[in-house]
Structure 1
Amino acid sequence: MMTNLAFQLSAFLQEYLTNERRVSQHTIDAYAYTFQLLTTFAATILKTQPSKLMIENLDVTLIVDFLNHLETTRGNSPRTRNARIAAIKAFFRFLEYRLVACLDQSRRIHSIPIKKAGHKLVDYLNKIEMQALLDAPDPQTHSGIRDRAMLHLCFAAGLRVSELVGLTLNQIVFQPSATIHIIGKGRRERILPLWKETTTVLRAWLAIRPSNAAVPELFLNAQDSCMTRSGFKYILSKHVKTAALKQVTLQEKRVSPHSLRHSCAMHTLKATHDIRKVSLWLGHADLKSTEIYLRADPDEKLETLMATTPPSLKRGKFKAPDKLIQMLKARK
């Protein structure tokens, strides 16, 4: 007997992940997008509607074809591919406890290997480039004041884009000192102080933020609803183009919302020379996640080089080759 995919997928996303696992809404959204891509691909291959797909249709061959489709057609990186297969495996792990008939199918899917991904250096903006970006929004307009506050806060606190757009009004405190209460990945919380400049631009935005907005989020879009991740990505790309007119090096860089987080980490590392403080500032669960910034910082390596005594070179004597041997070698 075939089992309808839509029913089980709905239970996985709306009940299991929310109530039993208590994962964040961002994780649920990421899983839902994975299955949006998978079911659309499967429906196209099988020439049916996504709502009519059966769990048995998602065999190893189809899923491997889907993963290859992500890399070849959509141009996704191995890291993104691995995130998609992780979501699929989580779903089939959920099915193992509900549908005994899916045990063998689940075992086969769990055998799909994770693809090894390269470890590239992080993309970040130097001090001049970052200042050009922060100066790009027009402070004489409503949207410019909002955008300037978002860019300043995202950089100063090293926020993930999900943390930025998810901020609510009660997570910002100005007295006795300006701080921000962040609920990050894995529900890890951290409280960070804010620079004077960041506090100033935040106060400017709060002064004009509609008081009758129906949502509690700090940053709103043009419809006075909460800002979305794609909305902030669009705003950032717009201001990067403006900043690149003054700082031409930005034209050669691919600036994403996460680039601001990387930039904050690199600036903090240069200021403190302490990778542990960078890890605490960013809210990393493991110090290994922060080591990527050490690989990208030449100053840290230069200090290590200068602190190490180089090996001495032994003086040698030059011995002229024998004329006969030299002539014979030349005849080869």
Structure 2
Amino acid sequence: MRHTHALVGPLLQEFFVKHLLAHRNVSPQTISSYRDAFRLLLKFSTAKLHVEPVTLNVTDLGPDLILAFLESLERERNNSARSRNARLTAIRSFFRWIAVARPDLAGLATSVRAIPTKRTDRRLIYSLSRPEIQAILAAPDLSSPSGRRNHALLLTMYNTGARVSEITAMESRQIEFGSRSSFAHLHGKGRKERSVPLWTRTADALRKWAREQDKEPGALLFTNYRGERLTRNGVDSILQKAVSRAAGTCPALSGKHVSPHVVRHTTAMHLLQSGVDMSVIALWLGHEHLDTTHIYMEADLALKEKALNQLRPAGQTAPRFRATDKVMAFLESL
């Protein structure tokens, strides 16, 4: 049944402007993700139904059409199951709002929200060894301004484990330099803020870069040669050049695909291998749930080998404890 005054266009506009921006104050990344999802959905729907976008009704977007759209993402656009699920998240959010804003459409909203996400394979986390990441950090040419920027950028990525969106949006005032300790104040997903301590090496590189740039506190910390915000592709290009150059001194990097997210994984793995508690790593990375961070524990083969070495074969008893002279002396002193 087509409802009057239920055109998709006006309702989408209200959803984005009033609900997402004004009421929920979601991040620009969420807006971009949701926008792209609905661009694809409207393009698919109008082509399938042979209607103009301005005449598309919310009741046209039933569960059957939504499922056909999701299947087309994988079949025609070669999207992964994760990308498909991300599009579904945007659609579910819209219909969750529809159920409240338009109670007369609650039945439709419920049926769309009942569409399940697609199960995905849990991929093993891939990270770099310490020699590999150190070779990458040493790759930029410090004799040029771009090289000094790249050096500070890569150090910040590895030190903080920040997402690319957090790095590219970072402003000068988000770095707090202290005589003993320095910190990076990051704005993460869902506008959640966190502070990450900086190693002396990172703080020194950032301090030199900040002095060289001499920008206002609200200015972007890392920009391109035009003074504009670095894009995701820009950061990836900087990293790829560093990896290519580092492969000359660290052959293990040859042929490896190192993305900014691999650097983030590397930060987490190295913190874990250094004995940092999982809850601290979760705070460091800006993970909302500890389960997200636990994948690093599962991926760390060194920890698994250590646990295996501590496990005695069946039937083998533990050796009898024999106190050392120091232990005996301590006990006798009590």
Normalised by the length of structure 2, the TM-score is 0.84
2:230 aligned partner: 227
Question: Residue 152 of structure 1: CA displacement?
Answer: 0.8
What residue in structure 1 maps to residue 157 of structure 2? 154
Q: Secondary structure at the match of 1:64?
A: helix
Are 2:200 and 1:196 equivalent residues in the alignment? Answer: yes
Name the CA distance, whole Å, in 2 between partners of 1:247 and 1:115: 40
Deviation at 1:115, TM superposition (A): 1.0
- Aligned equivalents of 1:60 and 1:51: distance in 2? 21
Structure 1 Cα separation of the partners of residues 121 and 274 of structure 2: 28
CA distance in 2, matches of 1:53, 1:244: 54
Aligned to 2:221: 218
**What is the CA-CA distance between 1:266 and the residue it aligns to?**
0.5
| 1:178 corresponds to 2:207 | no
CA gap 1:212/1:280 in 2 versus in 1, 3 angstroms: closer
Q: Hey, what's the Cα distance between the residues in 1 that align with 2:72 and 2:95?
A: 21
CA contact (8 A) 2:172 2:216 kept: no
Tell me the equivalent position of 1:243: 246
Residue 272 of structure 1 aligns to a residue whose secondary structure is coil
Q: Is the 8 A contact 2:182 2:197 kept in 1?
A: yes
Indicate whether 1:26 and 2:29 are aligned. yes
Identity %: 37
- 1:1-332 maps to which residues of 2 (within 5 A)? 1=4, 3-47=6-50, 50-176=53-179, 177-209=181-213, 211=215, 216-272=219-275, 274-312=277-315
Q: How far apart, CA to CA, are the structure 2 residues paired with 1:270 and 1:204?
A: 30
Q: Deviations over 1:201-260 (max 9, x none)?
A: 2123223326379x6222112321222334323333343333345434334433222111
Structure 1 contact 273–300 (Cα < 8 Å) conserved: no
Report the Cα distance in structure 2 between the residues aligned to 1:3 and 1:223, rounded to whole angstroms: 45
1:274: Cα distance to partner?
3.0
More displaced 10-residue stretch of structure 1: 34-43 or 118-127: 34-43
3-state SS, counterpart of residue 182 of structure 1:
strand
Aligned AA (2:258): V
**Deviations for 1:149-181, whole angstroms, at most 9, x for unmatched residues?**
111101111111121112121110112322111
Indicate how the Cα distance of structure 1 residues 146 and 37 shifts in structure 2: closer, same or farther if over 3 A, else same. farther
Q: Measured at CA, do residues 252 and 76 of structure 1 come closer, stay the same or move farther in structure 2, by a change above 3 Å?
A: farther
Give secondary structure in 2 for the equivalent of 1:91. Answer: helix
* 1:12 maps to amino acid: F
- Contact 1:157–1:264 (CA under 8 A) maintained in structure 2: yes
Alignment CA distance shift 1:122-1:56 (3 Å) = same
Query: Matched residue of 1:179: which SS?
Result: strand
Which ranges in structure 2 are unaligned for 5 or more consecutive residues? Answer: 317-334
Tell me by how many angstroms 1:47 deviates. 4.7
Q: Secondary structure at the match of 1:191?
A: strand
Segment of structure 1 superposing worse, 18-27 or 233-242 = 233-242
Are the aligned partners of 2:172 and 2:215 in contact in 1 as well (CA < 8 Å)? no
Question: What residue number does 1:325 align with?
Answer: none
TM-score, normalised with respect to structure 1: 0.85
For 2:314, give the aligned amino acid: P
CA RMSD for the aligned pairs? 2.4
Cα separation, 2, equivalents of 1:43 and 1:174? 54
Equivalent in the alignment of 1:319:
none
Residue 97 of structure 1 aligns to a residue in which SS?
Answer: helix
| Number of residue equivalences | 312
Provide the C-alpha distance between the structure 1 equivalents of 2:18 and 2:78, rounded to a whole number of angstroms: 32
Q: Counterparts of 1:17 and 1:110 in 2: how far apart (Å)? A: 18
